Structure 1
């Protein structure tokens, strides 16, 4: 769900539209709960936009190809809470589910993934809570991406709230593979045929080789890159 979708869904809840059963008695609290995550997502999105525009303005290599924000739906939150054994209360969800707000950053090269992560986490109001490096150590199915959980302050009218946001950084090749893998799992859920799993794993290796080759070519043409 994009931030625009979130706006529409929050408006629907406030207008009395049906909510998933666990949240029907707390619709107003839930609306404000998710609104805060939307604000956190906007804060991170602004930071990324500023970095990209500044680098472009200075005539330096802009490592950011495109950015996709998303806010979990109530059904997705419910599913994850049940999977990890998290009670369906707002306090518990706030403490235990830290990817309610998320943003995906697609970069040109593998080195750019780490460069952007470093630029973002060096900012004094961004607190790095967790790193999962699936680029250096891919998942068994071949998935590659750098996952960060960062926390940013959101200044409301009467208080400051520190909001966790999941940041996923990957190359275009990694993103294409992940999109295909998601579609296949959606179609064959819960059991993807073994032959398809093997093909996906092989395709992940092909994508990784392509990333290495493209970065090597870029270095040969342009020399060591400054970001």
Structure 2
């Protein structure tokens, strides 16, 4: 892809933010972590299939809406499967057995999909489509209706995706984050600033970040209003 080219709307891109590096070396997690990494093949494979299932649905909806309604509710999609060492570290921090069975039972963020939408209404449209199509939403955290104290906004869903294997069907938990372009821009920059500062929030940053998040929310509201007016305006 040349610098001038752009990935098609609704296409998958690599997860844009590095996963946390706080897991530390496997040496710090004990010998069970090494064994865990060796035995995670099936665990990671079925979670990848869960991502594949939902990505296929999202791409179909994106193309359908673009064709039928002349509005694509999906700007772009990213996905990732958590690394074995990150899974082992999370289980260890929670005081849980570091093994694939424990990971399946207790972790809901091994598979992650992020959907970025043009407008806030698109965020909830995608949520409603998920509800209607063979995927159970088992947890909802609406940080758009109730932003985090730092100003973070996004809709987080944990969904159970049926993965049809050759001899059985398995329900796989997938963490789905749905947000607008403005919310995604804020989250990316906030992550970059904190990453460069080692995770600590420098003096004065918290208030500035929250103000920036509110400005992004205001931009979302203005753009949504323009979009609504453009839909009713005469051609």
**TM-score of the pair, normalised by structure 2:** 0.82
| SS of alignment partner, residue 200 of structure 1 | helix
- The answer as to 2:110 corresponding to 1:100 is yes
- The answer as to 2:146 corresponding to 1:129 is no
- The answer as to 2:205 corresponding to 1:196 is yes
2:40 is matched with which residue? 30
Q: How does 1:54-133 map to 2 (within 5 A)?
A: 54-123=64-133, 125-133=134-142
| SS of alignment partner, residue 194 of structure 1 | coil
What displacement does 1:26 show? 4.6
Are the equivalent residues in 2 in contact too, given 1:3–1:38 (CA < 8 A)? no
Provide the C-alpha distance between the structure 1 equivalents of 2:13 and 2:168, rounded to a whole number of angstroms. 22
Provide the C-alpha distance between the structure 2 equivalents of 1:99 and 1:197, rounded to a whole number of angstroms. 27
| Change in 2 beyond 3 A, CA 1:135/1:108 | same
Provide the C-alpha distance between the structure 1 equivalents of 2:76 and 2:13, rounded to a whole number of angstroms. 16
**TM-score of the pair, normalised by structure 1:** 0.85
1:14 is matched with which residue? none
Provide the C-alpha distance between the structure 2 equivalents of 1:72 and 1:86, rounded to a whole number of angstroms. 17
Provide the C-alpha distance between the structure 1 equivalents of 2:219 and 2:36, rounded to a whole number of angstroms. 49
More helix by share: 1
Are the equivalent residues in 1 in contact too, given 2:162–2:171 (CA < 8 A)? yes
2:194 is matched with which residue? 185
> Can you list the C-alpha shifts for 1:49-94, whole angstroms capped at 9, x where unaligned?
1111111221442111000011111232233223333321211111
What displacement does 1:28 show? 5.1
Provide the C-alpha distance between the structure 1 equivalents of 2:14 and 2:224, rounded to a whole number of angstroms. 35
Gaps of 5+ in 1: 6-17
Are the equivalent residues in 2 in contact too, given 1:68–1:103 (CA < 8 A)? yes
- The answer as to 2:56 corresponding to 1:53 is no
Provide the C-alpha distance between the structure 1 equivalents of 2:58 and 2:88, rounded to a whole number of angstroms. 29
